Amino acid sequence: MRVLMKGNEAIGEGAVRAGCRYFFGYPITPQSELTHYLAKRLPEVGGLFLQAESEVASINMVYGAAAAGARVMTSSSGPGISLMQEGLSYLAGSELPSVIVNLMRGGPGLGNIAPSQSDYFQAVKGGGHGDYHMIVLAPNTAQEMLDTMGKAFDLADQYRNPVMVMADGIMGQMMEAVDLAGDTKIEIPPKPWATTGMAHHTGKNVINSCLVIPEEMEELNLRLEKKYKVISQKEQACDQYMLADADIVLVAFGLVSRICMSAVEKARAMGIKAGLIRPITLWPFPTELIEKTADKTRAYLTVEMNMGQMIEDVRLAVRGRAPVFHYGRLGGMVPELKDVLAEIKNLHEGGTGR
Amino acid sequence: MKKAFSRPQSLLDVPFHYCPGCTHGVAHRLVGEVIDELGIQDNVIGHAPVGCAVFTMDYFDFDMISAAHGRAPAVATGVKRVLPDRVVFTYQGDGDLAAIGTGEFVHAAVRGEKITCIFINNAVYGMTGGQMAPTTLPGQKTKTTPFGRDSVISGYPIKVCEMLTPLDGAAYIARAAVHSPRAIIQAKKAIKKAFQVQMAGLGFSLVEILSTCPTNWGLTPLEAVKWLEENMIPYFPLGEYKVPAAGVI
C-alpha cells in the first residue's frame, strides 16, 4: 500500500512498525508532526505517548523506559537535542538501547525553524561529555525514514547503544509516497540485563554509569571502545551514484544528496565525470569506500547545509591524496542545483573551490 | 530462639560509606524494612541520585538505576510507564531533588506519576564538600555562604512539601525526621504509607526526611541531632501534608 506521508509521519510509522511502544518528548518545530502522529498512533497499538516538561526530562524518561527493557524513542530539533546531551552521555555510559531523532534546524542559538545540517559535529563527535559514540543514521527519502527506524532499533538493541536518526526540517515536512507493504515482523531480543524487578530475571540488575574507581571506569571505557571498533568495522553504510569512473566526487547526506544526484546527472550531460557518495551512516562514517576512491579522484566536493562539518571526516578518509572542497548554504538555506553544478564545473576546470 | 532484630532482607550486608552521625543509614534501613514488610523486594526498582546517596545502588538488594543529577523522577517515570505493576521509587538529596531536579519532581507530581520519592533534606551539599543547598537555613554557614546564608543574596529555603500539597496529582506528601527514636518510628510510618499509596495507584507520593550532616555542619553527631531539632524543625514543620481520603488505603 502506497500512501502520501510527511517525513515526520514516516518516522513515526516506522517506529511503530519496529515495535517501539513508548515515546517521550517535548514540542519543538520542525518535528511537530512526528509527535502529532505518535500521539494518535501509539495508543492504537497499546503504546504510550507522553509529553514531558522539557527535553531534559524526555531523554531521562527514555533512559528509564530503556532500562526497563522497552523499545523507546524521543525526537527533537537542535535546541532540544542540545538539552538532551547529558542524557545521551548517560545512555551511552549505561549502554541503554534507545533511538533519538533530530530534525535539524538553523542555528546556533534559537536560530530558526528552517532546514539545516549544522548538528553534524554534535551528533558524530560526541555532543555530551565523556568518551562515547552514538550510531548516527541519515535517511534521504520519506520511505527511507520509515525503513531506517527498524534498522535504528535493531542496531540499538544489538549493540546496547543510543542511535540517532538525523534529517533536516524539509525532510520532516515534505510529503512523499511511502510503501507500507514491507516486513512488519517485530523481533526484539531478550534483555536479561533490564531492571524489571528481581522476580523477572536472575539476581540483582543495576543500570549505572558511575564507576568511582578509575581502574573500573577505564575497564568500561575499554569495553565501549571495543564495541565502537566492531560497529566501525561492520556498520559503515553508504550509497554511490555514477562513481565507477568519476574524477570529481561529491559527498553529501540527507536532503542534499538528492540535489547532488541531479547535479551529477547535469554534469555528466556536460561531459564531466562526476559521481556521488552518500553516507547513510554518519557514524560510523563510510571511510572505507571513500578511501578506496582517493587515488582515482581529482577532487572531492562535500555539499552540506553548514559551514563545513562532514568535510573533516572526508579529509580524514582521503588522507591528503586528493583535495577536498566544500560548498554549503547556511542558516536554513538550501543549496540550489545550479550552484552545486557551478561548483562542479569550477573544480572540473581546475578551480580550487570557495 | 526467636530473632528479635536483624538487618532488613532488602539491605545488603555491606558497610555504609557514610560519615559518623550521618542519618542516611537510618533512612536506608527504614526503606529496606518497609520494602520487606510490604513483600515487594522482587518487584521494586529503586533510583539512586547523584550525591552522597549515589551508592544506594550498592546497598539495596533489589534492582537499581543510577540516575543523572536531579533526573531520578523522570527516569522513574519511564520505568513505571513501561512496568506499571512494579513499585518504583527514587532516593534523592536536597541538592539533587530541590535544586537541579526541581522541574522533574514537580512535574512528576503534576502528572500524578505513581512513584514514590524519598527526599533527604540535610540542608547542605554533602559529597561535593558542604556548599549551600536549596534548603540551607537563613544564616546557616556553608562553604559557599561563609558568612551565613543571606536571603538578600541567596533567597530562602525551598519548602518542598508545602509546594506540592496543592497539586492534584500529589496523593501523599509528608515530612518526617530521623533525629530521635520517636521521629524514626513516624518516618517509617510515612515511608510505608507512601509506598502503599503508590501500590493502590492513587498518585504521586513523597516523604521528606530531615537528616543530619555532622561533617558539613561542623558539629558532633549529638550536636547535629540537637541542631536539627532546634533549627530545622521550626522552619520545616513535621507532619502529613496531604493524605488520601480515609479508608482508601
Spatial separation of the C-alpha atoms in residues A148 and A253, rounded to whole Å: 14
Query: pLDDT tens for residues B134-143?
Result: 999 999 999 9
Q: Which of A180, A202, A234 is the last residue of a domain?
A: A234
* Local structure of residue B115 (DSSP, 8 states): -
Percent of chain B at pLDDT exceeding 90: 96
CA A199 to chain B, closest CA, distance in angstroms equals 5
Query: pLDDT tens for residues B212-234?
Result: 999 999 999 999 999 999 999 99
Domains and CATH numbers, chain B: 24-242 (3.40.50.970)
Residue A203 lies in a domain: yes
User: Chain A residues contacting B, CB < 8 Å?
Assistant: 22, 24, 48, 50, 52-54, 56-58, 60-70, 72, 86-87, 90, 94, 195-199, 204-210
- CB count, 10 Å around CB of A315? 18
User: What is the domain range of residue A303?
Assistant: 239-348
Taking contacts as CB-CB distances below 8 angstroms, the residues of chain A near B64 are 195, 204-208
Whole-prediction pTM value?
A: 0.97
pLDDT for A182: 76
Per-residue pLDDT of chain A (354 residues; tens, 9 = 90+): 899 999 999 999 999 999 999 999 999 999 999 999 999 999 999 999 999 999 999 999 999 999 999 999 999 999 999 999 999 999 999 999 999 999 999 999 999 999 999 999 999 998 999 999 999 999 999 999 999 999 999 999 999 999 999 999 999 999 999 999 877 788 999 999 999 999 999 999 999 999 999 999 999 999 999 999 999 999 999 999 999 999 999 999 999 999 999 999 999 999 999 999 999 999 999 999 999 999 999 999 999 999 999 999 999 999 999 999 999 999 999 999 999 999 999 999 988 876
Residue A85 lies in a domain: yes
Domain match, A227 and A247 both: no
Question: Would you call B79 and A195 a contact, using CB atoms and an 8 Å cutoff?
Answer: yes
Question: Got the DSSP string for A191-260?
Answer: -TTS-S-GGGSSS--EE-----SHHHHHHHHHHHHHHHHHHHHH---EEEES-TT-SEEEE--THHHHHH
CB A251 within 8 Å of CB A300? yes
Residue A354 lies in a domain: no
Handedness of CA B105, B107, B109, B111 (dihedral sign): negative
Average pLDDT over chain B reads 97
Helix (H) or strand (E) holding B221: helix B221-227
Taking contacts as CB-CB distances below 8 angstroms, the residues of chain A near B61 are 204
Q: What is the CATH number of the domain that holds A338?
A: 3.40.50.920
Domain match, A217 and A253 both: no
Residue A353 lies in a domain: no
Domain match, A15 and A108 both: yes
Of the candidates B44, B66, B106, the beta carbon closest to that of A209 is on: B66
Domain match, A215 and A329 both: no
Spatial separation of the C-alpha atoms in residues A39 and A164, rounded to whole Å: 21
Domain count, chain A: 2
* Local structure of residue B145 (DSSP, 8 states): B
Give the position of cell 538501547.
Answer: A97
CB A340 within 8 Å of CB A260? yes
- pLDDT band, very low/low/confident/very high, at B190 (cuts 50, 70, 90): very high
Domain match, A86 and A186 both: yes
- CB count, 10 Å around CB of A221? 16
Q: What is the CATH number of the domain that holds A126?
A: 3.40.50.970
